[in-house]
Structure 1
Amino acid sequence: MFGLPLPPRSRHGAAMAKIPFDIVGFDLDGTLIDTSGDLAAAVNHAIATIDRPPFPVEAIRPFVGKGAKVMLERALDASGGYDDATLAQLLPVLLDYYQANLSAHSVPYPGLVAAMDALAAAGVKLAICTNKAERFTLPLMDQLGLTSRFASIVGGDTVGIAKPDPAPIHAMIARAGGGRTIFIGDTINDIAGARNAGIPSIAVSFGFLDGPVENLAADAVIDHFDALLPLLESWPQ
């Protein structure tokens, strides 16, 4: 005589609660992937052309999170200042170098792959909405072998406007098939974008923060991807 199917089990062996979301959306830089090493290399390559000394990776982290132009502005300002002409000269140098060296140092954050495996096993679809342009986003995900894990990937130029506008998050949800969605990110663009799109958000404390993570006013905060599944399992149905 056949019994009822056993409920899914977590990696700790306990029965896994149902996750009350159809889609879990992620930001890319500083959330899914630590891209700071390759971004630092691109910044240092660009500023070396005007004889500025290189920054260590840790010094570049606070410059990241609001796009390549702001990152370069911050680096130039911290290394001796800049004018508009210098910025215009160096931005394409930075972008071309970065495009040619997307994944030399970039890696998923600890616990991410296991969390994605568990979400997929629970029937949850994964998606990405990033302000990074498609010409960087799509090759990076391919090079890291992660593209096939995501039901949709929306870049900063996919719909002609970026977060915190809700349009790219709405596009991410629609392209993933629709359903109840939660979004995970590390900057105000991510959390405000989720809020503007009418969905809940989770902030990661390990990303490219430019202030205390509490200032983002997300619905929840995680310090490691090991905490993601328990948090989602306990989310109000």
Structure 2
Amino acid sequence: MSRAVVFDLDGTLIDSAPDIHAAANTLMDRHGFARFAPEETRSFIGSGVPHFITCCLRARGRPGDAALRAQLIAEFIDLYETAVTLTRVYPGVVEALVALASTPYALGLCTNKPVMPARAVLAHLGLDAHFPVVIGGDSLSVRKPDPAPLRAVLAGLGTRAVVYVGDSEVDAETAERAGVPFALYTKGYRKGPVDAMPHARAFDDFADLPGIVAELLA
């Protein structure tokens, strides 16, 4: 297939914020810190586990503790691989994936979630068969918004014509730096207004995505 659609994961295909929030509070309890409210940890999502833990420690007054940061990163990743029970697929995602695959477009995944937790949650939710190529935040030496992970997905799929679908400022910058059109899912974890983010199309209903992709790859 010469055309592809590549997706972000958290905040785009799945609402994983409740599981991430629970894992973060497990660590806070373990290390004697105050718990977070859901909206706090949600605002930390998008740039990978090291950034997430940095945000947690900054919020708890320990931003410069490198040893604690390293420990919490390792503990969080360990929790993360089984943090799947509270995560839900966004409405219309499965139908959109089936429609896109039948067009046919090759489908891939480019996420800042570590690759093993990404594969674990895809399998738990029955989405794994849709994505023959998955690049996570620890698959390469760099992560989004560096364009290299997205380019690695395209190389794995063997295609160049692509739409990248994501929900955040990080995703928008990744697509822009890779020189590919970006479709913005507006019900995810973005931190600012839609019109402040570079995008080719914005949508809030996955039923609209196959038509958007067809237009962008026409």
- TM-score (normalised: structure 1): 0.82
**Deviation of residue 236 (structure 1)?**
6.5
Number of the residue aligned with 1:118: 99
Is the contact between residue 38 and residue 105 of structure 1 (CA under 8 Å) also seen in structure 2?
A: yes
Number of the residue aligned with 1:147: 128
2:74 aligned with 1:92: yes
Structure number having the greater helix percentage:
2
**Deviation of residue 224 (structure 1)?**
2.3
2:13 aligned with 1:29: no
In 1: Cα distance, 2:63 partner to 2:142 partner: 27
Number of the residue aligned with 2:184: 203
**Deviation of residue 209 (structure 1)?**
1.3
Shift of the 59–22 alpha-carbon distance from structure 1 to 2, 3 Å rule, reads: same
What do residues 53-82 of structure 1 show as CA deviations (whole Å, max 9, x unaligned)? Answer: 322323321111112222223233334554
- Larger mean CA deviation between 84-93 and 26-35 belongs to 84-93
- Larger mean CA deviation between 158-167 and 125-134 belongs to 158-167
**Deviation of residue 149 (structure 1)?**
0.9
- TM-score (normalised: structure 2): 0.89
1:106 to 76, 80, 87: 87
Question: What count of residue pairs does the alignment treat as equivalent?
Answer: 216
Is the contact between residue 172 and residue 198 of structure 2 (CA under 8 Å) also seen in structure 1?
A: yes
Shift of the 152–56 alpha-carbon distance from structure 1 to 2, 3 Å rule, reads: same
2:57 to 45, 58, 76: 76
What amino acid does structure 1 have at the position aligned with 2:68? T
SS of equivalent to 2:113: coil
SS of equivalent to 1:48: helix
In 1: Cα distance, 2:137 partner to 2:72 partner: 21
Larger Rg: 1
- Larger mean CA deviation between 134-143 and 69-78 belongs to 69-78
SS of equivalent to 2:187: coil
- What CA RMSD, in Å, does the superposition of the two structures yield over aligned residues? 2.0
- What are the residue-to-residue correspondences of 1:178-217 with 2, within 5 Å? 178-217=159-198
2:23 aligned with 1:52: no
What do residues 171-230 of structure 1 show as CA deviations (whole Å, max 9, x unaligned)? Answer: 211211214111011223222222222211111111111222322211221122122123
In 2: Cα distance, 1:117 partner to 1:194 partner: 23
What do residues 111-150 of structure 1 show as CA deviations (whole Å, max 9, x unaligned)? Answer: 1111111112221121111122222222222222211112
2:139 to 145, 148, 158: 158
What amino acid does structure 1 have at the position aligned with 2:136? G
In 2: Cα distance, 1:22 partner to 1:110 partner: 24
- Larger mean CA deviation between 153-162 and 167-176 belongs to 153-162
Is the contact between residue 23 and residue 83 of structure 2 (CA under 8 Å) also seen in structure 1?
A: no
Is the contact between residue 33 and residue 107 of structure 1 (CA under 8 Å) also seen in structure 2?
A: yes
SS of equivalent to 1:127: strand
What amino acid does structure 2 have at the position aligned with 1:148? A
In 2: Cα distance, 1:51 partner to 1:185 partner: 35
Q: Which runs of 5+ in 2 are unaligned?
A: none
Shift of the 160–71 alpha-carbon distance from structure 1 to 2, 3 Å rule, reads: closer
